[in-house]
Amino acid sequence: MSTYQMVSHEQIKLAPGFWYDRRELARKVSLMAVYHRFRDTGRFDAWDFTWKEGDPNRPHIFWDSDIAKWIESAAYLLEEEENEEVELIIDDLVDKLEKHQWEDGYFNCYFGHLAPEERFQHYTDHELYCLGHLLEAAIAYKRATGKDKMLRLLIRYVDLVDRVFRVEHSAAFDTPGHEEIELALFKLYEETHEERFLTLMRYFINTRGCSEKDRTYDIFENNPAYAQAHLPVREQRTAEGHAVRATYLYCAMADLARQDKDEALLEACDALLDNIAHKRMYVTGGIGSSHIGEAFTVDYDLQNRSAYAETCAAIGLALFARRMSLNIPKRLYADVAELALYNGMLAGVSLDGKSYFYENPLEAHPELFHLNERYPRLKEHMPILQRKEVFDCSCCPPNLLRTIASIADFALSEDEREVYVHHYMPCEAQTRFGTLTMETGYPYDGKIALTVGFDSEVTIGLRIPGWATAYTLQVNGQPYKATLRNGYALITHSWSAGDTITLDLPMEVRLLRAHPALQEDCGRVAVMRGPIVFCAEGVDNGAHLKDIAIRPSMPFTYAWNEALNVPMLRTTATRSVWPEKTRIYTSDPVKRIGASLTLIPYFAWANRGESEMLVWLLERE
């Protein structure tokens, strides 16, 4: 098995371009916007441990994780630009953590203050999940600023968890009800090289699905699959249960498979990702189709209007796929991460960086949404039509923030002989061999230029995305015929500083058709260009989007929407002319006429007020 390591975002300096612009928006707008909404709703005040009955904003069991993800986001942004105000906020929080931490290391703003007698008694109540996010935040803050107080405090908590869960088995359950601490423990092991953290991670992973104690809990209608506890992890082959829980578990499984060279664990991870990618994932990279349990259901059950497709689940999928690329550089893994990042995740934040979607449907009808509001007894689940600045359960905003702030983690990996470029973004990366500079207009332009800054014989692998029907490759201006392995073009060369590689991925508009088991999408197409999924909005195309039909023979034109600052596609489609407007049905022939169709990136929908939206459009000549 592999010895690949991620080239960390700490080693990569992004240059102006798609992700640089979004990270700068996170720095200048989103970070403090999320902070103010969290302060308004009591999350930061909860660490004062002063709340009492009758006060507003009762602390919640998962609020620690919201604060933790905000700290982690801030830490990543502090790496490149100091911000005294933000550091003071975090240092004050760390002082509060120290003040209210129990003598044995325990800390939780809900149980530690409101229900101390109930600690480690509730499988589903997020204590270990919160600790996991706090650990990730503490590691990031230490690496950004050199301040290790938060990490030292939390290691005391980890040692308590190790004693209570792994040694004494004195908690009321054996494994985390919401996975997260497992992947955080691996990060802690990588940061400290202390074996005890890896031992605890292994214990939690190996015990999941094997614990009789965990099965005594009524987990979501007594369904252990909700928390991925239905089978031992090495026997799991289909993605089940709560989608975020699942992907966070799979992240940790992939980490441990690489660390321990565990073939059985890697085989399970590969099967799980394959099941998601080919049978349980929306064309946008969204996962978890049902609002009931925020969960996977069965193969090909991917409804559009009621799609849950939580933003955090798309992030979890991208993180899982990224870790799989460190086990085996395989095109499918990076393709899945790319799809989720540019579409399923990015739709979760407004273009101004201030508001968010929790759910990400592929179809929206304002009149049906408001009918739901007027007649609650008839109500069916329907995602909201406009993003909000904060939610009661507001896990997605800081999760998006931390992912965008550390987006360069997805770009490259390396071992002692090879460097793999998984995701294309303008940057200068410091590999173990020296610098590798990338210039590109990706994802809107498929031309990628790399400049080598070292003298060494190294294999450089470039992902050829699954959507690319062709590609051209040059080394130092001359055509190069690369070996293709697992979807990567491998260039083995004795490099000299200043050598160049040019990859050209033609970005043609593609019409995707769905498996016949996706009954809602039969006879319809989704439109993609490069890694970007496009959609139609009523604001551009009028009402009744489901009546508009794309003509496969008609070309698309590519243009720029100045108002949204995103690309758009235009083509000539058809739509029906209803013979009598007062009739609901007719036996008369229905005439179809030519109509202009304008599409925008799916991630940009709902930025111009309420409107119909549709991803899957009719296909008809």
Cβ neighbors of 458 (< 8 A, separation 6 or more) are 417, 418, 419, 433, 492, 493, 495
Angle formed at CA 293 by CA 289 and CA 298, multiple of 5 degrees: 45
- Rounded distance between C-alpha atoms, residue 589 and residue 546, angstroms: 19
d(CA 360, CA 308): 6
What is the torsion angle, in degrees rounded to the nearest 10, for the CA atoms of residue 599, residue 276, residue 203 and residue 325? -70
Q: How far, in Å, CA of 173 to CA of 164, rounded? A: 10
Phi (first) and psi of residue 596, to 5 degrees: -75, 135
Dmax of the chain from CA atoms? Answer: 80
CA distance 337 to 407: 11
> What 3-state DSSP class applies to 585?
coil
Helices (DSSP H) in 289-391: which residue ranges? Answer: 311-327, 331-339, 366-374
Strand partners, 14: 427
CA angle 230, 184, 149 (to 5 degrees): 145
DSSP collapsed to 3 states, 177-237: CCCCHHHHHHHHHHHHCCHHHHHHHHHHHHHCCCCHHHHCCCCCCCCHHHHCCCCCHHHCC
* Residue 496, Ramachandran bin (φ over 0: left; ψ between -120 and 50: alpha; else beta): beta
Q: Give the span between the Cα atoms of 348 and 391, in whole angstroms.
A: 13
Q: Alpha-carbon distance 269 to 204, whole Å? A: 16
**548 neighbors 617 (Cβ within 8 angstroms):** yes
- The upper half-sphere exposure of residue 520, i.e. CA atoms within 13 Å in the direction of its Cβ, equals 17
Residue 251 annotated in active site:
no
| Phi-psi sector, 315: left (phi>0), alpha (psi -120 to 50), beta | alpha
Tokens of 316: 């979890």
From 109, 251, 395, 396, active-site residue: 395
Active site residue 294: yes
| Residue located via tokens 């969290």 | 38
Q: How far apart are CA 284 and CA 75, in angstroms?
A: 29
In the block, tokens 């289909």 appear at 238
CA distance 565 to 31: 22
- Record the tokens describing residue 461, joined without a space: 């692998």
* Closest C-alpha to 600, from 513, 533, 521: 533
Q: Which of 66, 68, 71, 99 is nearest to 83 (CA)?
A: 71
What 3-state class would DSSP assign to 145?
A: helix
Q: Which amino acid is at 384?
A: I
127, 179, 182, 294: the active-site residue: 294
> Any idea which residues carry the catalytic annotation?
294, 395
